[in-house]
Structure 1
Amino acid sequence: MTKTPLVSRRDPRLDFFRGLALVMIFINHVPGNPLEVLTNRNFGFSDAAEGFVFMSGMAAGLAYPGAFATLPLWRAVAKCWGRAWTLYSVHLVITAICLAIMLAAALWFDAPKMWTINNVGPWMRAPVQSTIGIATLGHQFGYLNILPMYAALLILAPLMILIARKSLPVMLGLSFVLWVCAGEFRLNLPAYPNPGGWFFNPFAWQFLFAIGLASGMCLKEGRRLVPLRAWAVWGALALLVFCALWVQVGAIATLGRGGLRWLGDLGAPFYLVNFDKTFLAAPRLLHILLLVYFLSSQPWVTRLSASRWVAPVSLMGRFGLPVFALGTVLSILGQSWKAALVNDTWVFDTSYVFAGLIVQMGFARIKWQLSQPVSR
């Protein structure tokens, strides 16, 4: 009998929701397909990127703090920074592959659109400077900007862990201050050779990563970062329903945005009253935290995450980095294929998304099988 790929010693929720985030990222990275309406960005202010970063922080909180308690400091730091180097290396590889795909579509298959979209235009105009920018992470192509931010957060992780081992509230407080400073002073890492900064600003997104890190550290100790209270769970659900209505009902969105504009006119800073993704504005941040709190309180979520029926999605989450890399290449291939060979039809879009997800699930299954010990 074939062994089930689910492993009881792992918290099944982390793998399942990380895999679910990868599914939604792939769907959203093939823009225009009808399945986009089913992703979580249509039911609230945050999207799969926020979930991915929170769970990355949580995974770091489960994986790395123990090394700081048992290993010399330099070796513990090296574990985090070694993972950051892996992310950087994977980013460069998939960037080169995706650039080649887009250029091939434009050069060989008469898809001039691919010369200009996804930040390819600046590379065409200044290839020398942009290639330097790719290596230094200053020039990032569209849909390939999550891994640089994640690598930067892992560079910060050792400092976060060292402070958190002394005091979780202090670590979270300092992280919150940095988030505020990023918004107040527009702190960001510079783009090069383009003006501006990173699309995913690490100085802002580190706060969500830090909350995930603290949650993972608490989970490792068998406790919660935020205790469960019935009133808080019901309050979180009510606010999540309100956010979904805001996104789906035009009249509510008009009233809500009018209220935020009013607060802005009174002097409230932009990162508190709009939905800016680069600086992880407060509505996006609060929405993902409400979602995490509510889902983590529900027993049915744990049962669902451990179910054999969602095992393919959980395996995607377990092998998140290689699956994400494959999904990114497939999404750029799909965009290029659409631009070069087919009309923008829902039949092609839907078929390609399903085929891409099947390939990624199959790839994750192969990765799991290769990770199993060889029986003699």
Structure 2
Amino acid sequence: MSGSTANASCGRDLRLDLFRGLANWAIFLDHTPHEILSWLTVRNYGFSDAADLFVFISGYTAALVFLRILREKGYVAAAAKVSKRVFQLYAAHLTVLLVYAGAIVWVSYISGDPDDVNQFNVAVFADAPFSALAHALLLTYKPVNLDVLPLYIALLGAFIPGMWLLARKPSLTLALSMCLYLASRHFGWNLPCVHAGVWFFNPFTWQLLFFLGAWVGFGAAIPIGPILRSDVVFWIAVGVLGLTLAIALQAQFGVLPAWIPNPFDPAHKTNLAPSRIIHFVALAIVANNLLRPDSPALRWRALAPMIACGKRSLPVFCFGVVLSFCAHALIELGSNALWVQLTAGLAGLALMTTVAYAMAGRLKPPPMRIGRTA
């Protein structure tokens, strides 16, 4: 994608909503254990997954929205807007954590099966709720599958000083981001987290993908746009995707040679391995060449639900996190039967879409009345 802060007022890029909705759907399916529909998500066929897409788009959108405010109203106003958004994300995370942990404890209690409490890392919440809540307030305790929003909170918080430099020296900002990424991987920098030891998504490495998105959203990639859209670069990207597909399938169904890193190794994701970035950039180049901002495909009715979920990304994401455990519980209750997996997955996507449309309807302004007033 290419764009600039000036483009923000020229019309909404539906591709952002489409890919945000796709990321929400994929995260829901990937977070549901034993869900057959999760085989449709990109994580099974390459190195990157929906988390990479989510972080990149978050940076891209942050540049579009907040840098425009910076230019129009100044840095203080923009910083205040970012701070308000960080607080909203923080409140949303804590709310989801309480609902999510409460649902897991309740289901484990009524079913008499404590396995989920341990599997989803909420045993500490059941045994010592006040201690767990204190750690949750500090973002040092997170149940399984609740790592994305804390990462977003940290990255958006870093964007408060970062956008000041980005607005003046975009290439220097990206270079400094790359230096931090390399140093973090070399020295093992990460934030502490109880029980798990460190954050599952290392913010010192994942910030590179966020600021790469912000750099593109700011419009710094426009000068190299013709190169990125050239046939040569397109087919190189296609070749990269083909190679990573072969490696991913080999890792899934065969034995990888010792010299090839396993793309499904948790450390590969925690510290954002370079191969994940390469795979994601290749995906972005192919998608940008095949799907232009004015593409008629963006108006297909079949894509409307996904676009709606992208437009209401935060509430849909939060709802999807809780739904992922509910779907897991239903699948376990149904003994992992295929029809139960299909039903739980499709019902979850339908409910997420319903929330998106309901939020859209609730947030619409009331119609204006034209006529004489009393």
The two structures have a TM-score, normalised by structure 2, of: 0.88
Mapped contact 1:260–1:274 kept (Cα < 8 A): no
2:272 counterpart letter in structure 1 = L
Mapped contact 1:101–1:336 kept (Cα < 8 A): no
Give the equivalent residue in structure 1 for 2:229: 228
Mapped contact 2:141–2:193 kept (Cα < 8 A): yes
Mapped contact 1:139–1:191 kept (Cα < 8 A): yes
1:66 paired to 2:68: yes
- Counterparts of residues 165-184 of structure 1 (less than 5 Å): 165-184=167-186
Give the equivalent residue in structure 2 for 1:285: 277
1:30 paired to 2:32: yes
CA-atom RMSD in angstroms:
2.7
Supply the distance in 2 between the matched residues of 1:345 and 1:300 (Cα, whole angstroms).
Answer: 40
Mapped contact 2:34–2:328 kept (Cα < 8 A): no
Give the equivalent residue in structure 2 for 1:317: 310
| Identity percentage of aligned residues | 29
Q: How much does 1:307 deviate?
A: 2.5
Q: Give the length in aligned residue pairs.
A: 358
Mapped contact 1:245–1:252 kept (Cα < 8 A): no
Q: Out of 153-162 and 304-313, give the one that drifted further.
A: 304-313
- Counterparts of residues 96-111 of structure 1 (less than 5 Å): 96-111=98-113
1:245 paired to 2:246: yes
2:219 counterpart letter in structure 1 = C
Supply the distance in 2 between the matched residues of 1:331 and 1:225 (Cα, whole angstroms).
Answer: 41
Mapped contact 2:331–2:344 kept (Cα < 8 A): no
1:305 paired to 2:298: yes
Supply the distance in 2 between the matched residues of 1:292 and 1:222 (Cα, whole angstroms).
Answer: 17
Q: How much does 1:179 deviate?
A: 0.7
Q: Out of 91-100 and 102-111, give the one that drifted further.
A: 102-111
Supply the distance in 2 between the matched residues of 1:185 and 1:253 (Cα, whole angstroms).
Answer: 33
Give the equivalent residue in structure 1 for 2:210: 209
- Counterparts of residues 128-143 of structure 1 (less than 5 Å): 128-143=130-145
From 149, 159, 162, the equivalent of 2:161 is: 159
Q: How much does 1:126 deviate?
A: 4.2
2:259 counterpart letter in structure 1 = G
Where does structure 1 lack aligned partners over 5 or more consecutive residues? Answer: 1-7, 262-269
2:21 counterpart letter in structure 1 = G
From 343, 346, 350, the equivalent of 2:335 is: 343
The verdict on how the C-alpha distance between 1:197 and 1:227 changes in structure 2, with shifts beyond 3 A counting, is same
Q: How much does 1:90 deviate?
A: 0.4
Give the equivalent residue in structure 2 for 1:266: none
**Secondary structure at 2:242 match in 1:** helix
1:138 counterpart letter in structure 2 = T
1:359 paired to 2:361: no
Supply the distance in 2 between the matched residues of 1:92 and 1:252 (Cα, whole angstroms).
Answer: 38
Give the equivalent residue in structure 2 for 1:264: none
1:19 counterpart letter in structure 2 = G
Q: Out of 117-126 and 15-24, give the one that drifted further.
A: 117-126
- Counterparts of residues 142-153 of structure 1 (less than 5 Å): 142-153=144-155
The verdict on how the C-alpha distance between 1:102 and 1:274 changes in structure 2, with shifts beyond 3 A counting, is closer
**Secondary structure at 1:297 match in 2:** helix
Mapped contact 1:188–1:201 kept (Cα < 8 A): yes
The verdict on how the C-alpha distance between 1:250 and 1:172 changes in structure 2, with shifts beyond 3 A counting, is closer
Supply the distance in 2 between the matched residues of 1:334 and 1:253 (Cα, whole angstroms).
Answer: 29
**Secondary structure at 1:51 match in 2:** helix
Mapped contact 1:218–1:224 kept (Cα < 8 A): no
CA deviation digits over 1:180-220, x for unaligned, max 9? 1111111111113x251111111111000001111111189
1:295 counterpart letter in structure 2 = A
Q: How much does 1:299 deviate?
A: 4.1
Give the equivalent residue in structure 2 for 1:5: none
Give the equivalent residue in structure 1 for 2:259: 259
The verdict on how the C-alpha distance between 1:274 and 1:361 changes in structure 2, with shifts beyond 3 A counting, is closer
Supply the distance in 2 between the matched residues of 1:359 and 1:292 (Cα, whole angstroms).
Answer: 28
Q: How much does 1:221 deviate?
A: 7.9
**Secondary structure at 2:100 match in 1:** helix
The verdict on how the C-alpha distance between 1:212 and 1:106 changes in structure 2, with shifts beyond 3 A counting, is same
The verdict on how the C-alpha distance between 1:227 and 1:300 changes in structure 2, with shifts beyond 3 A counting, is closer
1:214 counterpart letter in structure 2 = W
Q: Out of 114-123 and 196-205, give the one that drifted further.
A: 114-123
Give the equivalent residue in structure 2 for 1:186: 188
1:259 counterpart letter in structure 2 = W
Where does structure 2 lack aligned partners over 5 or more consecutive residues? Answer: 1-9, 370-374
The verdict on how the C-alpha distance between 1:365 and 1:76 changes in structure 2, with shifts beyond 3 A counting, is same
Supply the distance in 2 between the matched residues of 1:159 and 1:173 (Cα, whole angstroms).
Answer: 15
Mapped contact 1:214–1:225 kept (Cα < 8 A): no
The verdict on how the C-alpha distance between 1:221 and 1:258 changes in structure 2, with shifts beyond 3 A counting, is closer
